[in-house]
Structure 1
Amino acid sequence: MTFPNDIKLSMRDCILKVLWPKDDIVTFFRNNSCTKSDIDALGDHKTLHRYQIVDNMFTYLSTKPDEGLGQYRAMLQSLVNWQQFDPYYFEKLGKLDKTEAERSITHLKQLQEIRDHKIQERRKAQARKEAATKVPSTTLPELKTKFISLLQSEVIGAKRGYVLEEILQSLCKISSLEVTEPYRVNGEQIDGSLKYDGEHYIIEAKWQEKAIANEAVYQFAGKIEGKMYGRGFLFQSTDLAKM
């Protein structure tokens, strides 16, 4: 996850408008999750301009494996709740302007609110999408009709196996079971999987006229052996026809 650039720029502006001494800027970094190595990366900060201290720290944090996410989050929370306006620099020396500082903090808060709103909307959209996939798109009578059409050979050849997979997928959804679509792993076809009572099961669906042979059962056992699930359901057309 990358910290938003617009918020980083606003944070930079806030830091320079609420802190004047260079040592105070470095202390701010230290108090907001920046490590000793982060601080050391600045070198002799007294030889830098105030804005260079901030820019160099932000640049350094962005090169870290986590891109300084923890430090940026800590700084953000500190700045949006900022209440320290040192009278010595704001009033006596006039180095800083409280009105401008408060305006910058308000802008930062607005950016944070916009970002949080977008995150919430994305989460809601994802939740709606996931909920939609769990809503059955067909009914039991429709599945029954579809299965009977298979028995009556209205669908022929290899297509019958794929239709059987679809029927099983829909049946799982109607039964409120978590189910995955068919997929391939290292060239191996998996007709799907379902979750029941906290356990995952691989699904194997076969359509053939004769009763399934032991060899096919052993092959299926070999398929699930060594898998994370270690469990499976083997469906065969003649078995379903007797149900």
Structure 2
Amino acid sequence: MSFTEKKVSVQSLLALKDALTNVFWTKKDLRQFIELIIENPLIVSTINWNENTKLESVSQLIDRMSKRQDIYQIDLLKLIQETGNLNDFSHLKIWDNSEDKIRKAKASVEKLRLNTKSYFDTIEELKKTEKSRESNQAKIKESITYQQKLDELKTEFFAIALNDNHQQRGHQLEKFLKELFFFFDLDPKNSFKITGEQIDGTFTFDNTDYLMEAKWQKKQIDAQDLYGFGGKITGKLKNTLGLYISLEGYSSESTKTKSSTLNSIILMDGVDLMQVLEGRIKLTDMLYIKRRNASQTGELFYRIIGI
């Protein structure tokens, strides 16, 4: 029986939904994985990824593909095969309760393998998918350019750090931050302005506008600096948040300050920036985790560890 005559079973589709939902924690990473695998990625754009939960998005996508297996059967089999081949779940370590998330991911992938074993048992069937698999692997390897770009940005940052001319360094840092935020699709606006070694700008993350201030100076940022930045945010639209980047860090007094003026601010320092440039965490994931922690605990500064 050929693949075109043998439809993917309901049990296999359910196992695929469960595996995809558990293997990737963010909807962005999940969507990127699916688009890299399938040959007909346009169907992915028919799903409302922003409003849906991961499970809702995956269920809608798989259901639509399964109803038209005359068109999408090969893509379904590719998703089954590539998801079942996953065995490295270290990308989940940066999230809360990571051990539980990794355990669920491993269990769901193993369940997928058991439920779909019959599709790939024979050598003939494996040969039919091997050519597509090689193509998929080539696409995935293209993601290596992500690390290459990070390496370029890191080299650029180190060169800036060696510049003793503070005015030049400020302009170089402005250009660097624009490139970094563009790289992570954060839509930095052209309103980035520099005064001395202070950079002001705006960007958009998760449909929320952020005002950003960055400083590279010898002394740590104190509470007065943060109050000044908080005052700028209160003059903006209600949902505007703030990101303060101090490459030399913050005084203990400033991070323990409790005030409604600072409720909309999250903080990054030079260590955070290096974690991003070394590829240990995406800038977008860092912003998400810091924002979530600030919302839950009221802490201005949160050090992400275990990455």
Normalising by structure 2, what TM-score? 0.34
Normalising by structure 1, what TM-score? 0.43
